[in-house]
Amino acid sequence: MSGTHWQAGSTAARERPSWIEAERWYDSGMTRAKIAINLPKQQLLRVRREVRAGRADSVSGYIAQVLAEHERGESLQGLLEDLIGHHGKPTAEDVHWAKKALAPRRG
């Protein structure tokens, strides 16, 4: 099978075993569901530009990536709120120390 390309409509595509088609659409790490969404034209154009630029593998991939980033942001926000709840808000002195400690090192 090495070097064989499965393209829709090709002889090879019509002859490939059914398990290859199932494997192609199945992601063992998570289940997926197909949906239809409506986007403003400008947003869709942006998504397609991102895909063409190689920053996403597909429109669906781009949307999944953006949602994952949003979820990480919400998770970090929740952590921050929890820390503030337990320890209080950082003081101006704390912020000054953190900026100094996290500043890029010159070398």
Spatial distance between the Cα atoms of 64 and 56, rounded to a whole number of angstroms: 10
Contacts of 28-37 with CB under 8 Å at 24 or more apart are 37/63
pLDDT of residue 6: 46
Instruction: Please give the average pLDDT of every successive group of 10 residues along the chain, which has 107 residues.
Output: 46 52 55 90 96 95 94 92 94 95 87
pLDDT of residue 46: 96
pLDDT of residue 105: 86
pLDDT of residue 32: 81
pTM (two decimals): 0.52
**Cβ neighbour number for residue 107 with a 10 Å cutoff:** 3
